[in-house]
């Protein structure tokens, strides 16, 4: 069984076998653009769950997987949502692999401009390498079950916007392993600017209902069953903080940036990527006002909150 990395550990990406033929690929330290991925191997074929942001990172993931499985071919891949840290490496999957995603995820990835020319919002600006835009071949809007040899793989949508409008989780009921995608950021600040704070909060009860023995988050260390209540509880308290601060700020006529500057993060102050508070407040304001987020303004405010500096990323390191 896998021994998860401690939260915030800097180190080499590693492939963990959680159960026979069930893998989690964990990339420390899980900050901007550094995600986790996974795979299920059965009957001589592989199902991949997400790729990575850059060509170098995706090749390393797929190489580690091939080494652990004797080169079992990738036949199916699932994207948990559209963000580039989980999808830009799709183009390095075999051409014959069937790629599955939510219909909203496919639509968003088709118009994502960041893969073509990443704006200088981060430092260093990520270099994606030799990747190209590859979107799902098969889109879904509700739950589906894949039978990979004798392994049941359930691909599930919570039914509402949460991290994004097209989140998918992957559940292995026999192995009791749950891949949450970015519904969970373990030990890091969650990001909900593309989804819904209320939905992200609601999704915690949905994730808890699976009672997984192991949960593979979109970012951060693997969550064993004994840590599940703690991790979900931290997320709940963070989301309630965002909602409470947004409500008070709107009543007072203050902007998301003003509210963020006045917010004491308390137990969450040590979490990496804390500037996401600004982005999440923009989301909460937009939800309350039945509007959408002005992403250019939201990121400009996040940089302003960050003392005018671009947001830090270690995506170039392996």
Phi, psi of 276 (to 5 degrees): -65, -15
- Name all domains of the chain by residue range, CATH numbers in brackets: 14-225 (3.60.15.10), 240-312 (no CATH)
pLDDT at 10 over 60: no
* pLDDT on residue 174: 98
Average pLDDT over residues 74-97: 98
- Which residues lie across from 148 on neighbouring strands? 151
Residue 129, sorted as left (phi over 0), alpha (psi -120 to 50) or beta, turns out to be left
Start-to-end C-alpha separation, the chain? 24
> pLDDT tens-digit profile of 18-51?
999 999 999 999 999 999 999 999 999 999 999 9
pLDDT at 88 over 80: yes
> pLDDT tens-digit profile of 183-221?
999 999 999 999 999 999 999 999 999 999 999 999 999
* pLDDT on residue 318: 65
What's the rounded Cα separation, in Å, for the pair 173 and 182?
20
Binned at pLDDT 50, 70 and 90, residue 6 comes out as very low
What's the rounded Cα separation, in Å, for the pair 3 and 18?
9
> pLDDT tens-digit profile of 121-171?
999 999 999 999 999 999 999 999 999 999 999 999 999 999 999 999 999
What's the rounded Cα separation, in Å, for the pair 276 and 260?
10
* pLDDT on residue 4: 36
Average pLDDT over residues 76-83: 98
* pLDDT on residue 317: 74
* pLDDT on residue 316: 81
What's the rounded Cα separation, in Å, for the pair 14 and 26?
6
Q: Helices 225-251 & 197-208, crossing angle to 10 degrees?
A: 160
pLDDT at 8 over 80: no
What's the rounded Cα separation, in Å, for the pair 178 and 122?
31
Mean pLDDT for the chain overall: 95
What's the rounded Cα separation, in Å, for the pair 201 and 242?
11
């Amino acid at each position: 069984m896998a021994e998860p990395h401690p939260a915030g550990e800097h180190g080499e990406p590693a492939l963990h076998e959680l159960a026979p033929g069930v893998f989690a690929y964990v990339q420390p330290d899980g900050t901007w653009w550094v995600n986790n991925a996974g795979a299920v191997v059965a009957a001589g074929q592989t199902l991949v769950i997400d790729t990575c942001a850059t060509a170098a990172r995706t090749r390393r993931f797929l190489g580690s997987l091939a080494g652990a499985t004797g080169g079992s071919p990738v036949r199916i891949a699932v994207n948990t949502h559209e963000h580039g840290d989980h999808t830009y490496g799709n183009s390095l999957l075999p051409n014959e692999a069937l790629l599955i995603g939510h219909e909203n995820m496919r639509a968003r990835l088709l118009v994502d401009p960041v893969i073509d020319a990443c704006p200088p919002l981060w430092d260093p600006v990520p270099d994606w390498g030799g990747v190209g835009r590859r979107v799902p071949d098969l889109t879904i809007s509700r739950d589906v079950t894949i039978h990979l040899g004798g392994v049941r793989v359930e691909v599930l949508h919570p039914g509402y916007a949460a991290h994004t409008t097209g989140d998918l989780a992957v559940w292995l009921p026999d192995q009791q392993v749950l891949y949450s995608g970015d519904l969970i950021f373990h030990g890091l600040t969650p990001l909900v600017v593309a989804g819904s704070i209320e939905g992200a909060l609601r999704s915690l009860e949905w994730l808890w209902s699976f009672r997984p023995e192991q949960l593979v988050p979109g970012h951060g260390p693997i969550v064993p069953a004994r840590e599940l209540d703690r991790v979900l509880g931290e997320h709940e308290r963070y989301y309630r903080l965002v909602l409470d601060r947004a409500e008070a700020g709107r009543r007072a006529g203050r902007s998301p940036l003003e509210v963020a500057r006045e917010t004491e993060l308390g137990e969450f102050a040590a979490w990496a990527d804390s500037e996401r508070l600004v982005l999440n407040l923009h989301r909460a304001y937009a939800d309350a006002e039945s509007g959408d987020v002005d992403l250019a303004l939201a990121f400009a405010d996040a940089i302003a909150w960050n003392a005018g500096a671009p947001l830090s990323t270690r995506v170039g390191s392996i």
